[in-house]
Amino acid sequence: MSRQFTASPASDEAYALGEGPVWDPARRRLLWVDIDAGAVHEGRLDLATGKVDAVAAHTFGGTVGAVAVSAAGDLVVAEREVLTRVDTAGRRTELARVLPPGVRSRLNDGAVDPAGRFLIGSMALDDREGREVLARLDGTACVVLDDDLTLSNGLAWSPGGDRLYSIDSTPHVVWERDYDPVTGKTGPRREAFRLTGGMPDGMCADAEGNLWIAVFGGGRVECRDPGGRLLATVEVDAPNVTCPAFAGPDLDVLVITTAGGGAGAAGRSGAGRLFTARVGVRGLATPYWVPPRS
């Protein structure tokens, strides 16, 4: 029988489309994005209460799909079509264009690989299927890993970094492939498993190599082993759960972002808020992004 947990509301503010929480241990801060508002938020996690207090924000002119942080505190931000560096003084520099100008797509979820390279996926903004990408930023060049996706989403690596998991939300598929954590070379993509009862969205891995997957439309986070067996469920008082991440000095607090509104939101006060839960395991440390040399 799988374990059952219930997440607690962690933020007073509700976000239109909260996503992509990232723990920055050097500065003991939590980062996350509000995609539709075009904002990267910074907050403090209270370990005693599980509450998250927003303390700063960076705003952009369009959508913001994901954020990652370097050891020095610089950010890489996935704007609608390009990746932008924001240094600690707030200066912004375009690093790379991932999507062609004006395409009916936007950048979506991203994560840092074991060597510090940033991976980012895209999603269609119309009914096109099978044309979206998963790309990796190598220096200032983008290397395309997949070009046949519809809604590229959560990314996670095995504890040794030798396996990459990635989600294509529309067909509800979790993919896996061999991954060289030093060179980034990948093996053939293969289906690991599929989810039902909601759309798989963001994802993270714990120190035991299991996957924690947000179920958009399902009001929960599921923990599954790499073969797809359900190990635990975290119930969330919001229908559209978007992404989990382990945070805190011991990586033992599961932070969960959600989206506001949507079907099933009526009577659920948590829609759009951040949540936290203690689930009895620790997460994998998120590698710092390594910026390209100037």
| Regions of the chain short of the pLDDT cut 50 | 266
pLDDT tens digits along 82-91? 999 999 999 9
CA 269 to chain centre: 23
Between CA 216 and CA 238 the distance in angstroms is: 9
Domains of the chain by start residue, with CATH: 3-277 (2.120.10.30)
Residue 126 annotated among the catalytic residues of the structure: no
- The whole-number pLDDT of residue 212 equals 98
The CA-CA-CA angle for residues 189, 194, 171, to 5°, reads 80
With b for 16 or more beta-carbon neighbours within 10 A and e for fewer, the 193-216 pattern comes to: bebeebbbbbbbbbeeebbbbbbb
Catalytic entry in 24, 201, 206, 237: 201
- The whole-number pLDDT of residue 108 equals 98
